Structure 1
Amino acid sequence: MSREQLVVQRARKSYQTGNTRRLEYRIHQLKGLLRFITERRKDIADAVKRDLGKSEHATELFETLGLEGEIKLAIEKLAEWAAPRPVEKNLLTLQDEVYVQPEPLGVVLIIGAWNYPWAVTLQPLVGAIAAGNAAVIKPSEVSSHSAKVMEELLPQYLDKDLYPVVTGGVSETQELLKQRFDHIFYTGNSTVGKLVMEAAARHLTPVTLELGGKSPCYIDKNCDITIACRRITWGKFVNCGQTCIAPDYILCEPSIQDRVVEEIKKSIKEFYTDNPKTFEDYGRIINQRHFKRVMALMEGSTVAVGGDSDESQCYIGT
């Protein structure tokens, strides 16, 4: 029996004890998760710095702050969310007490992404805990430092049988997908998304697939071009462009093209200084494979601004 199979069996056995049906137990686990983020803030920031070159401030803004808000909201609203909901009676149910009772699904699998390794992995966990489920957490192996910290420290704050962390690469994920889950939550690319859905279909398991997509921007010549370019620059270069909804390309009329390029240059300088390489709020590409992939996109193109690189640091200039 594989390690992954044992982990899932243990989670299901723990779920079947019925502990998670009690709202007090769910709140206790949510408070543990909140304590983890508060007490281990430095460990989380250090891991993200090593994975993506993000500053402590950026990790706070894009990873932990939103998570804390999600957990506090779940704690505050849990009794309301879990309460029976009245249903209007009809001829068939006239003599009955009619209501809808929210129920946990069971054991869910959460497969996280590397670009926001904490927010994207743990936000679905907040919902899973609040709904009374057990959850197997699979952080992305690409953001390896974050995955290691999650594996080592999260079990100190949550029930380790109900909410185990499974690390590893493709083979471990494939082994997990062979197991039966009651829901699968996956964030990543569409190629892997198809494999996740195919594996889920064997057990008729419902899925939530967050697969990103293309995000073009159109700048109309009559809009405030300065504001538009400033916002696009922020959206594109935050996290070194590694965001699923980052702008992919800009469409505009030829008459404003030069001005758009100039405004974006100005915004880049304002946000990241003349030398983004030494600026702490400008990150790095996650690994050399992706560094080479991005560099290949520039081949045969005219680079309007930036484009300098350092493979040893996985740095690509703005």
Structure 2
Amino acid sequence: MGSEVEKKAVFDMEAAKVVVKELRESFAAGKTKSYEWRVSQLKAILKMMEENEPQIIAALREDLSKPELESSIYEIAMLKNTCKLALKEMKHWILPEKAKTSLTTFPSSAEIVSEPFGVVLVISAWNYPFLLSLDPVVGAIAAGNAIVLKPSEIAPASSSLLAKLVETYMDSSCIKVVEGGVTETSALLEQKWDKIFYTGNGRIARIVMAAAAKHLTPVVLELGGKSPVIVDSDINLQVATRRIIAGKWGCNNGQACISPDYVVTTKDYAPKLVDSFKRELERFYGKNPLESKDLSRIVNSNHFARLSKLLDEDKVSGKIVHGGERDKTNLKISPTILLDVPQDSLIMNEEIFGPLLPFILVDKVEDSFDVVNSTGTKPLAAYLFTNDKKLKEKFVATVSAGGLVVNDTTVHLAVHTLPFGGVGESGMGAYHGKFSFDAFSHKKAVLYRGFAADAFVRYPPYTNGKLRLLRALVNGGLLDIIRALFGWSKA
């Protein structure tokens, strides 16, 4: 036990340098660039997830009390689908893309070549510790990079299992896991990386970005924000309510970056909507949701205290119309609805990341867009429930967010043809499907020319005739070039 603690304690700046040096040597040897290596590592992830599903579910249960269905579907099955897609499409992704050329370089051909950045760092989050760790790793492998994965120490059972599985199943000369907390992460961030992919909160993202700036390292930041749900009145009330519940409490009990953060609806419609939530929540989680095995617990005592502070604020505590029960010992908070919450309250000024759902009331549904845009930040996701075509069009035109969903929540995450990422304070860059491959690939421009048709007009001595012809080549069409060759003016 003592030796294990000692072993973990020695991961400092020097140890981080050694890890990066080893990976750079493997990358320089061309090992990760081969198609065969990429396929072997993606198949290794698939095998790893298939053979260890019970252990993964157990680790998620230990860290988060995550229900088996959520673990099996949202972490394991989704990750396996990511691998299968990459295995199916990677041969096409790595092919150079043909690009058009112009008269300026005629005759010529051009292409865009995707090449790996090199040695990349993936820093993961605790709320979906397997999916959010390995999903970007799939993209990094498909693109041909060497990788360090730093899982979150806040989910220790998952982090430990990830480290063991990756070491067992994958090529440790090219893919390494570094466990630990602030000390280890700081040591890693001091190194020069070719790309950093971070999933987490805005506070740490600023630290990551500052560290990356020292080496001019590009970053992808997958953050969060206050994702709104706008609810119109002319909808299927039960279906809408269930879909919001599935996105809020059915996604790790609200501890998800795209979880609905607050609802905006009209004063007239709010009573019906709240009643529907009460009925459906009791149907899903029973009369005592604190005892439900279908709800994750709050990850740790710090987050429990943070959520309790949001609930206990004077201007908010009287707004609870459903739920609010807490079990500090077991870190459980029941699904909680708060009606007509002031916009200057604490709960409306930070990402909730938990099972609390405040309602903001407006006179007419069109005013909802002003509420969303008045926050001054752009959320990772925004949701609208309506059958009104004009309202849908206005939603798409006026609400800026990482992604929008009409008449559902969170499901855009599963559509691999859509980029998943934030904007502004909800992040930068995107991944999923080919977007993951692109996130870890440099798009190298390549132009091919022969030695024929060497244009004399490029070379001194410069004359007015050469100037006219070059202008025509750069700015004009074929007729302008003919005019220039014959010395004709446009007039």
TM-score tier after normalising by the smaller chain length: over 0.9
Matched, 1:316 2:333: yes
Choose 306-315 or 108-117, whichever is displaced more. 306-315
State the percentage of identical aligned residues: 41
Distance 1:7 1:40 in 2: 27
What amino acid is aligned across from residue 126 of structure 2 in structure 1? Answer: W
What amino acid is aligned across from residue 2 of structure 1 in structure 2? Answer: E
Counterpart pick for 1:69 among 66, 81, 87: 81
> How far off is 1:207 after superposition?
0.5
Indicate the RMSD between aligned Cα atoms, in angstroms.
Answer: 1.4
Matched, 1:148 2:165: no
Deviations 1:11-49 (A, max 9, x none): 111111101111011101111111111111111111100
Partner of 1:246: 259
- The aligned runs of 1:7-86 (5 Å cut-off) are 7-86=19-98
> How far off is 1:85 after superposition?
1.7
Distance 2:277 2:17 in 1: 51
Partner of 2:184: 172
> How far off is 1:93 after superposition?
4.2
Matched, 1:230 2:242: yes
Counterpart pick for 2:301 among 278, 288, 299: 288
> How far off is 1:79 after superposition?
1.0
Larger strand percent: 2
Matched, 1:277 2:294: no
- The aligned runs of 1:188-203 (5 Å cut-off) are 188-203=200-215
3-state secondary structure, aligned to 1:110? strand
Distance 1:100 1:253 in 2: 51
TM-score normalised by L of structure 1: 0.96
Deviations 1:242-283 (A, max 9, x none): 011211111222122222211111111122122223322111
Distance 1:184 1:18 in 2: 21
Q: Is the 8 A contact 1:4 1:166 kept in 2?
A: no
> Where do 4+ consecutive residues of structure 1 move more than 4 Å?
none
Partner of 2:271: 258
Partner of 1:305: 322
Distance 1:83 1:317 in 2: 51
Distance 1:92 1:21 in 2: 34
3-state secondary structure, aligned to 2:162? helix
Partner of 1:221: 233
Distance 2:94 2:325 in 1: 53
> How far off is 1:97 after superposition?
4.6
> How far off is 1:167 after superposition?
0.7
> How far off is 1:224 after superposition?
2.9
What amino acid is aligned across from residue 183 of structure 1 in structure 2? Answer: K
> How far off is 1:178 after superposition?
0.6
Structure 1 unpaired stretches of 5+: none
Partner of 1:209: 221
Q: Is the 8 A contact 2:290 2:325 kept in 1?
A: no
3-state secondary structure, aligned to 1:255? coil
Matched, 1:99 2:111: yes
Distance 1:294 1:170 in 2: 23
> How far off is 1:215 after superposition?
1.0
Partner of 1:184: 196
Larger helix percent: 1
Distance 2:101 2:236 in 1: 54
Q: Is the 8 A contact 1:15 1:134 kept in 2?
A: yes
Q: Is the 8 A contact 2:32 2:174 kept in 1?
A: no
User: Highest CA radius of gyration, 1 or 2?
Assistant: 2
Choose 199-208 or 80-89, whichever is displaced more. 80-89
Paired positions, count? 318
- The aligned runs of 1:90-129 (5 Å cut-off) are 90-129=102-141
TM-score normalised by L of structure 2: 0.63
Choose 245-254 or 59-68, whichever is displaced more. 245-254
Distance 1:177 1:156 in 2: 26
Q: Is the 8 A contact 1:219 1:225 kept in 2?
A: no
